Amino acid sequence: MSQALSHPSMPLRWSVALGAAVLLAAVALAAGSGGWDVQLILALRLPRVVAAAGVGALLALAGLMMQVLLRNPLADPYVLGTSGGASVGALLALLLGTSLWLGAGLGALGAGALLLWLARSALASTDDASPRLILVGAMLAALFGALATLLLMLTPDERLRGAIFWLVGDLSAAQDHGVGLGAAMVLLLGLLWRGRSVDRLMLGAEAAGLLGEPVRRLRLELLVAASLAVGLAVATAGAVGFVGLVVPQAWRLAGVQHTRELAGLSALGGATLLVGADLVARIAAAPMELPVGAVMALLGAPCFIALLIRGTR
């Protein structure tokens, strides 16, 4: 009885999440100079809102998969170095004049493959690989951060400001034409399909193996899917943090535990959160625009602290 009173029911959670998403999207489309100008909305604001929603959903789902993979609520694509690899790949693409999406995707996959190779013994065992994977990921994140700094030093002056702004998160020129939302939907469907297997993996590698789950293959699937999601998100909006960390943990504190519901609410919550952060980035210092990654950090850190305090009461 106390558990039912302390956490909202499933229909109420979905109603609140959907209502917040629709309301915030409407505000984001209306806010700004020009008001409800239809041409302005269709040409500028709608593509930006769609891109922000796609990036937010991808990051939230990637964070959820990393947390399942490591059985650690503090795991995040940025902790494991996949976003750092995506940033390095995108910077190389920027210097070479090739596709940012291709560079970021290859960079994220390369970082994921390197993580797998370095931690292959941990992943092959039935023991909990979380501590070793987190340590390896932290070292990779530091390595890719240093490489990104070196690449910035090699960036021509006329591109330097844009590269720096993009590295801290920027949606001002995002035109992904719904690719991010489409990819997030595919990712979500995959998690819904594999929901029972993922729930078993959360019990531990040994327990999942006893229940007949191919633990090593499932971990590989989660890591590759999360790496591709982060690569696409970084290529679209640059390095945006906290979404993959805050959103799944917030829903867990609200009482959501099963993978299928957690995945759906995380995708919706990540999309809503980043649309809101981008709205603040657009209007807080108008006519100047703030980097959405910095705004997300300023919003995400206090929210995460508040959620942790609330969860310990």
For the chain, the average pLDDT equals 82
Q: Read off the pLDDT band of 130 (50, 70, 90).
A: low
Q: Tens of pLDDT along 83-103?
A: 888 889 888 888 888 877 788
pLDDT top residue among 31 and 175: 31
Q: Read off the pLDDT band of 273 (50, 70, 90).
A: very high
pTM for the predicted model, two decimal places: 0.87
Has residue 220 got a pLDDT over 50? yes
Q: What is the pLDDT of residue 125?
A: 56
Report the distance separating Cα 288 and Cα 285, nearest Å: 5
Strands (E), 28-186: none
**Quick one: tokens of 65?**
């998969």
Q: Tens of pLDDT along 143-168?
A: 998 998 888 888 887 777 777 777 78
Q: 10 Å Cβ neighbour count for 120?
A: 11
Q: 10 Å Cβ neighbour count for 228?
A: 21
Q: Tens of pLDDT along 55-74?
A: 999 999 999 998 887 777 77
Q: Which of 244, 250, 241 is nearest to 297 (CA)?
A: 241
pLDDT top residue among 103 and 6: 103
